[in-house]
Amino acid sequence: MPDLDLDLSGYALVAAEEFDAERLDTGRWWPYYTPHWSSRAATAARYDVGGGRLRLRVDAGTAPWAPEWDGDVRVSHLQTGQVSGPVGSARGQHRFRDGLVVREDQPEHRGWLVRDGVLEVRMTAVRHPAAMVAFWPVGVEDRPDDCGEICVAEVFGSEMDATGGLVGVGVKPQRDPRLTEDFVKVRVAGDLTAPHDYAVQWEDDELRFHVDGRLVHTVRQRIDYPVQLMLDVYELPVPGVPRDTAALPHVAEVHHVRHWRRRDRL
User: 5 lies in a domain?
Assistant: no
Region 117-137 average pLDDT: 98
**1 has a pLDDT exceeding 50:** no
User: 252 lies in a domain?
Assistant: yes
Query: How high is the pLDDT of residue 229?
Result: 98
User: 133 lies in a domain?
Assistant: yes
User: 4 lies in a domain?
Assistant: no
Query: How high is the pLDDT of residue 130?
Result: 98
Query: How high is the pLDDT of residue 4?
Result: 62
User: 161 lies in a domain?
Assistant: yes
Region 3-23 average pLDDT: 92
- Note the pLDDT tens digit of each residue in 204-260: 999 999 999 999 999 999 999 999 999 999 999 999 999 999 999 999 999 999 999
User: 113 lies in a domain?
Assistant: yes
Instruction: Count up the domains in the chain and report the number.
Output: 1
- Note the pLDDT tens digit of each residue in 103-118: 999 999 999 999 999 9
User: 6 lies in a domain?
Assistant: no
pTM, two decimal places? 0.96
Domain of residue 142 covers 11-265
CA 62 to CA 12: how far, in whole Å? Answer: 39
Region 9-34 average pLDDT: 97
What does 110-175 look like in DSSP terms, one character per residue? Answer: E-SEE-SEEEEEEE----STTEEEEE--EE--SSTT---EEEEEEEEGGGEETTEEEEEEEEE-TT
Region 76-88 average pLDDT: 98
**5 has a pLDDT exceeding 90:** no
Share of the chain above pLDDT 70, in %: 98
CATH number at residue 158: 2.60.120.200
Phi and psi torsions of 80, nearest 5°: -115, 10
- Note the pLDDT tens digit of each residue in 180-194: 999 999 999 999 999
CA 143 to CA 261: how far, in whole Å? Answer: 24
User: 2 lies in a domain?
Assistant: no
Q: Cα–Cα distances in Å, from 174 out to 21, 105, 141, 148, 205? A: 34, 23, 11, 5, 18
CA 113 to CA 52: how far, in whole Å? Answer: 22
* CA 4 to chain CA mean position, Å: 24
**Arithmetic mean of pLDDT over the chain:** 97
